[in-house]
Amino acid sequence: MKKQKVCSAPNKETLEKLINEFYFSDNYKITDDNKLNNTRFTEDRVLDINNRTLIEFKKNRWSFYLIKQ
């Protein structure tokens, strides 16, 4: 599993803003278990997105990755 860092931010709210800019959307939210949720998508589509992305919190920094298989 390879991962490619897309963006990082000092807090969760800023990372949400960067993710929404990356996806050209305003609907992405980070849940409490560090998964992405989009209120406009079906549950299957949200699961697919979460299988292809990763959100990590390390050393006081939030990071968003795309997973390449």
pTM passes above 0.85 = yes
* Domain-wise residue ranges, the chain: 2-68
pLDDT at 52: 94
* Residues 12-42 pLDDT 10s: 999 999 999 999 999 999 999 999 999 898 8
DSSP string computed for 1-69: -EEEEEEEESSHHHHHHHHHHHTT-S-EEE-TTS-EEETTS-HHHHHHHHHHEEEEEETTEEEEEEEE-
